[in-house]
Amino acid sequence: MKRDLLSVWDLSAKEIDWLIKRAIKLKSGIANKHAPLSGKSIGLFFEKPSTRTKVSFEVGIYQLGGQPIYLNPKEMQLDRGESIIDTVNVLSRYLSGLVIRTYLHFATMVFSLHASIPIINGLSDLHHPCQALADLMTIQEKKDRLKGIRLAYIGDSNNVTNSLIEAAARTGMDMTIACPEGCEPEPDLLNRTRDEAKGEIVVIRSPEEAITEADVIYTDAWVSMGQEKGSKKKKGRLRDYQINSALLRRAKKDVLVLHCLPAHRGEEITDDVMDGPNSAVFDQAENRLHTTKALLEFLIK
C-alpha cells in the first residue's frame, strides 16, 4: 500500500528515528552509491514560491537516480478548469510520487485520496513535515539527542509550529510556545498531540520565560505565505517576540537557534543572532537535502 506524508503524524516514532539516522548516514557520504529512484519520475506541484523545498527535492531526486519534474499549476490544464481529481488520476500513471506545496491542507488530502502514488506535503497552511524532519536531524546532530530536549518556539504559530508540535510529541521533546494573543496553535492539534506526548507541550505569553531553560530556540516568519491579510496589525502584536541578542543573553550559553528560512531579518530575528555563534540555520537548511533523500528512499517504491 502506498504511504503519504501529509503531516509528521503520518510517521511513527520508530520511522522518524530511522529517517534521521538514515539522513545522517547519507550526509556522511557512506550510503551514497546507490540509485533507488533509477527510472522513476517524481512531480513537484508548487502553488507557492519555494527555494529550499523545490531545490532540495530536485537535487535529492537527481542524486538518487530519479527525474524531478517541476509542475507549475499555472501552466497546466488545471488553470483552464481540468479537475484536481482527473489531474491526479493522470499524474498517478506517469509518476512514482508527487510533492505538493499548496494553500489549504485539505487539498493535500484530496490529492492523497485520489492518487495511487505517494503524496508528500511540501508545505500547506497547516503543516510542513519535511521541514520538521530537517529540524529534528539538526537538533540530533548538534545536541546528540531529541528526548528531553527543551524547544522554545517564539512568535506566530503556523504550519512550521504545528509540525514541530507533532515532532516533539513523537520524539519526546518538551516544547514551549511563546506567542501573543491570537497567534496560538490550533487547540485541536494541541490536544491531540498532548494526549500522546511523552514530554510537555505548553503555550505561554512570555518569550523570556520560554527561553530560560531552552536547549533550542526556534522562530519563523510572522506572516506566512497566503496569510498577508491583516499583517500590519499582527506584526505589531509580535513586536516583543523578536529573537535578538537581548533575549539570547537570558538563554543558556550553548542554546541552538533555528529558523526554517526564509528569514525576515529585523522582524522575527536580528542579523547578529542569525549570523551569530548559536545559529545553525544554514546547517538546518542543508539538512533539508539529506532528510528529503531519506524520505524519498522510505516512501517511493
Residues recognised as catalytic = 101, 128, 131, 220, 260, 288
Pick between residue 92 and residue 124 the one whose CB is nearest to ligand CP.
Answer: 124
> Over 1-66, what HEC string results?
CCCCECCHHHCCHHHHHHHHHHHHHHHHCCCCCCCCCCCCEEEEEECCCCCHHHHHHHHHHHHCCC
Q: Which is nearer to ligand NVA, 18 or 103 (CB)?
A: 103
Residue found under cell 491526479: 88
- Residues across the chain: 301
| Residue 220 engages ligand NVA in binding (rule: CB under 6 A) | yes
What lies within 8 Å, CB to CB, of 123 at 6+ separation is: 48, 50, 53, 101, 102, 130, 131, 159, 225
224 binds, among ligand NVA, ligand CP, none (CB under 5 to 8 A by kind): ligand NVA
Residue closest to 216 by CA, chosen among 127, 128, 135, 134: 135
Query: Choosing among ligand NVA, ligand CP, none, which partner's interface includes residue 292 (Cβ < 5 to 8 Å by kind)?
Result: none
Question: At its nearest, how many Å lie between ligand CP and the CB of residue 202?
Answer: 25
Q: What is the DSSP letter of 185?
A: P
Q: Tell me the CB-side half-sphere exposure of residue 208, using CA atoms within 13 A.
A: 4
Residue nearest to ligand NVA (CB): 224
Q: Which residues bind ligand CP (CB under 6 A)?
A: 50-53, 123, 131, 260-262
Strand bridging mode 216-219 / 256-259: parallel
CB of 96 or CB of 159, closer to ligand NVA: 159
Q: In angstroms, how far is CA 270 from the centroid of its own chain?
A: 22
145-184: which residues touch ligand NVA (CB under 6 A)?
158-160
Using the structure block, give the residue that is written with the C-alpha cell 537581548.
Answer: 246
Binds 159: which of ligand CP, ligand NVA, none (CB < 5-8 Å by kind): ligand NVA
Which of ligand NVA, ligand CP, none sits in contact with 31, Cβ below 5 to 8 A by type?
Answer: none
x/- track of binding to ligand NVA for residues 93-132 (CB under 6 A): ------------------------------x---------
Q: Report 224-253 residues binding ligand NVA (CB under 6 A).
A: 224-225
Provide the grid cell at 181.
494573543
Residues at the site binding ligand NVA, with contacts judged by CB under 6 A: 123, 158-160, 220-221, 224-225, 260
